[in-house]
Structure formats: C-alpha cells, structure tokens
Structure 1
Amino acid sequence: MRWSVNPSLSSPLHPSTRLRSWLLDNGSLTAKLLKLSQGDFRVEVLRQLNARASLSEAQALGINPHQICLIREVILRGHNQPWVFARSVLPLSSLTGNLRHLRKQGNRPLGAFLFSQPHLKRSPIALSLISRHHAYVPEKLVGDAQIWGRRSIFSLSDKPLLVSEVFLPGFPGE
C-alpha cells in the first residue's frame, strides 16, 4: 500500500469525482460528516493502544520507528452506518501539555478538537487505494472492495499527529 501526495487520478483505478472532492478537502471531515448525516453521527472506538507505528507512518511523522505512539482506530458512523475508518497515530512525545487530554479522547471526534485549534498546520493530503489484503482496515469493513483513503500530518505547537481516513463501501458521499 502506497500513500501518494500526487497520485495519478487519470489511471483506470481512480476515485469518482464526488469521492475525490471528499478525499482532497482540507477542511474538517467531522464537520462534513455531521452535515451529511444531518447530525446523526457518532464515533465508535474499535481500539486504542500504545504501540509502534507502521514503518510508513513513522517515516511520515519523521519519528524513530521504535518510538511508542498512541494508536486509535475508530469508525465514523452516519445514520448508524459505517462510513469512514479512521486511524490516528499520536507519538507519546506529542501528547504533552495541552495535548495531554488526547490520551483520553474516548468517543469524541479528534477532528472536532483539531479544527478548533487556531494554529493548526496540516501537511498535503496523501491518497492510497486500499484492499482487504493490506490489513490496514479490518477486513469485515472492506469485504472484496478496493477503497480510497487519505492521510495527513497535523501539527500543533510543532507536535505531529498522523490521521488516516478511509472511505468505506457504501459511503453515501461517493
């Protein structure tokens, strides 16, 4: 699985025009999903643990691959349907000071917090085509589909956080 900031969107395998607008939007995905769901939106936490990031994630974050991170995987649901799988990788070294509370985010959307921060910086969005064989998204959520995801690095006070969002089969914004 490769993440690319400039994927060839003219290849045979590319997202639809509608999905591309979701993938490349620099605003808050949480806010867009709240609007799309007319407020019938929730975060389901699948798991949260301290572990190492994948090599690709560590490289994107610019951290040592052996560094321990808080990894949080959730499903963003609209109308109780699974719309987006999100994986956040937060180096423990970033979870200090005013970011310390992110260790206990629970079922609150991370995006709501991030986009409320006035000095938030975001890297360019990287895209990837994902299949169940990549084991990035739980197989039961992917089935036999190939789905598109995006990721970017958010930075607050020079503390990086990686957020990946994968649009699941049946996402109504497609």
Structure 2
Amino acid sequence: MPSAIASTHRSFRWRPRRQLPPQSRPPRALCAWLDDSGSLTARLIALSQGQFHLEVLRQYLALPSREEQQALAMARPARALIREVILCGRNQPWVFARSVLPLSSLSGKLRHLRKQHNRPLGAFLFSQPHLRRSPIAVAAFSADDGYVPASIARQNSLWGRRSVFALDGKPLLVSEVFLPALCAQLLQDKPSINNQ
C-alpha cells in the first residue's frame, strides 16, 4: 500500500441531476440508475443474473482531493483510505467505483473496512439499519479527465454519481461511474422491459 500521496483529480461539477441544463443531461436509460438510492451492488447482481464480481484496481492511503474533503466536511486535510474498484457483470466492466474513507471514520464497527479485499462496500453499507445517505449528485466525465482509468473509460460521455454515507456519524464518500458496457446492456434489455 503506497504511503500518503495527494490526489491529482481535477475538479468536477457535482450537482443534483434535476439541476442539469437541458443540453447536458444523461441518457434516459441511465437516469433511473443515477437516481436510485438503493444498493447499486444488489441491482447489478440482479441485472447480471448472478454473474457479478468485483476487481480491486488499487487501495492506498492519500489525501483526498479538495473537492472530496469538502464533500466529507473535513475541517482540515487528513489522510483517507482510497479504494478504486470495477464492478463487473457478465464478465464486462460495468461500473468504476471510488470510495474515500477518512481514517478517522475507520474505527469501531467500521474498522474492518480497511480490509474489504474483493467484497463490495455496498453490501456492507446497505446491511446497516442506521445508514444515512446524503442526496445524490451527478457529474459527466470524459475519457481524458483522469478520474476513470483510460483503459476502461473508452469514450467521452460517461456519467457518474456520488453521495456521502454516514454510520454513527462517521462519513464515507462513494462515487460510481457507469461504463459503456453497462449502458449497452441497459439499452439491450430495454425492449424486453417494455414488453412486460
């Protein structure tokens, strides 16, 4: 695990989807996914008919970006455990997820999140009865933004969402970017959904 390094992500304009101008809105097929406040992991497992797995790209200690610090309401810069994974369905990369877990949050029953390995964070979060979640904000990404690894971005019209989860007053920031293979799957499944 690398030592503390500062994040170099550029700043993104995260905001509620309904505040987006008409000319820059996500595809209709994605809107229900961007707005859904339930477990994304559970939804992906259902869509993949159980053919789901998680690949850890990297997990390291670093200073979150200034924007991430603001979202987490951090009073001063402090190290966090940053975890980047790909959620795969039907052996295709469907979602890139980045979690920022301040070290100050990783105590008590959240201590085990330091060693999630290939277990989805969402499976744990949504099993907690006292979980609180901030409103969902969305943002658009391009392949050269550097937020999503170029090897899986592959196009310039990616959409993502993020929110802050809190357990016992301890915040965790989770962002999820929907990849082209998932968008293609949603479009492919759309006719069968309409016929039901």
TM-score range, shorter chain: over 0.9
Alignment coverage as a number of residue pairs? 174
Report which of the two structures shows the higher radius of gyration computed on alpha carbons.
2
Greater fraction helix: 2
- Residue 145 of structure 1 contacts residue 169 of structure 1 at CA under 8 Å; is this kept in 2? no
Offset at 1:107? 0.3
Offset at 1:66? 2.4
The 1-side partners of 2:28 and 2:155 are apart by 22
Confirm or deny that 1:104 pairs with 2:139.
Answer: no
The 2-side partners of 1:124 and 1:141 are apart by 27
Q: Alpha carbon RMSD of aligned pairs, Å?
A: 1.3
* DSSP 3-state at the match of 2:22: coil
1:42-57 paired onto structure 2 within 5 Å: 42-57=53-68
Question: What runs of 5+ residues in structure 2 fail to find an aligned partner?
Answer: 1-11, 188-196
1:84-163 paired onto structure 2 within 5 Å: 84-163=95-174
Offset at 1:9? 4.4
Identity %: 59
Task: Extract structure 1 runs of 4+ deviating beyond 3 A.
Answer: 6-10
**Matching residue of 2:186:** 173
The 1-side partners of 2:163 and 2:70 are apart by 12
TM-score, L = length of structure 2:
0.85
Residue-by-residue CA offset, 1:52-97 (whole Å, 9 max, x unaligned): 1111111000114520000000000001100000000000000001
C-alpha change, 1:65 and 1:87, in structure 2 (3 Å) is farther
Offset at 1:15? 1.2
2:80 corresponds, among 69, 74, 86, to 69
Q: What one-letter code is carried by the residue in structure 2 that aligns with 1:173?
A: L
Offset at 1:143? 1.9
